[in-house]
Amino acid sequence: MILSPILSLPMDVDWTTRACDWAVLVAFALSSTGLEGIPKSCTITRTATGKWFVSISCDIGENDKKPNAGSAVGIDVGLNSFAVTSDGEKIENQRFFRKEEKALAKAQRKWDAVKKSSKTDPTREKRRKVTGRVHERISNKRHNFAHQESRKMVNRHDFIAVEKLDVQKMQKNRRLAKSIADVAWSLFRHCLKYKAEEAGIGFKAVKPEYTSQDCSACGHREKKTLSDRVHHCKACGYKTDRDHNAAINILTLGLQRQAD
């Protein structure tokens, strides 16, 4: 077994007394997870709230997944839902976006009130940890969500097209729940990209311009406002959900770019 440890070490711990803890952590991780392939590297991290994580990278050799021939999908960020596909499937927004928004605002408010007090104040330390834990929980849930949803997409399709990220548009979102969802979206997109590469299927990110305005049936272009939730083409009469129409356009653009 090849195991070359790459350690990510927090600075505030006496590492000489921790050596045995690492060994226990690695041994536990190796025995408790169903490892596939040959372990290549091991990373040990400690979060701001003092939790320890061991992550082990394994070489699983060539991927022998058979792509679903002909199954291509376009994915659009939904206005109401998290994402909508060109097949008309919706990935709903997670309830934790809203729930954690409230928890974070509350913890942050309490932390702000004591932030400038003495570092030896036990309340200050307690509230700092609570805020850190909420951030950590959001990050964990978001990772799980992004990994699970992207895995489903990659398993089901052999070509995936998404929008290029509009970072400026994302930064304008003041609402916390929306910003949690936005970060989840960029993570989802990132997971899709590397999982698609790993599985050897096609992946394209296309410019999002006009994808919501153009009719996916006839190409007629007409402006929409944010409140127009339905695409109803005046030229050909095609009617569908606004995000579904955009997802079909994203797929068409992605396939065109793939062919270029």
In the complex, the residues that contact Zn ion under the rule CB under 5 A are: 215, 217-218, 220, 233, 235-236, 238
Q: Which residue has the tokens 């070359």?
A: 4
Q: Could you tell me whether strands 159-163 and 72-77 are parallel, antiparallel, or unpaired per DSSP bridges?
A: parallel
CA atoms of 94 and 74, how far apart (whole Å): 21
Q: Residue 13 or residue 236: which is nearer to Zn ion going by CB?
A: 236
As measured in angstroms, the least distance from the Cβ of 236 to Zn ion is: 3
Distance CA 45, CA 47 (A): 7
Closer residue to Zn ion (CB): 7 or 236: 236
Looking at the Cβ atoms of 60 and 235, the one nearer to Zn ion is 235
Shortest distance, position 219 Cβ to Zn ion, whole Å: 7
d(CA 7, CA 54): 10
- Could you tell me the smallest distance in angstroms from the CB atom of residue 145 to Zn ion? 34
| CA-wise closest residue to 216 among 238, 191, 235 | 238
Least separation in angstroms between CB 248 and Zn ion: 11
One-letter amino acid for residue 18 of the chain? R
Of 85 and 216, the one with the shorter C-beta distance to Zn ion is 216
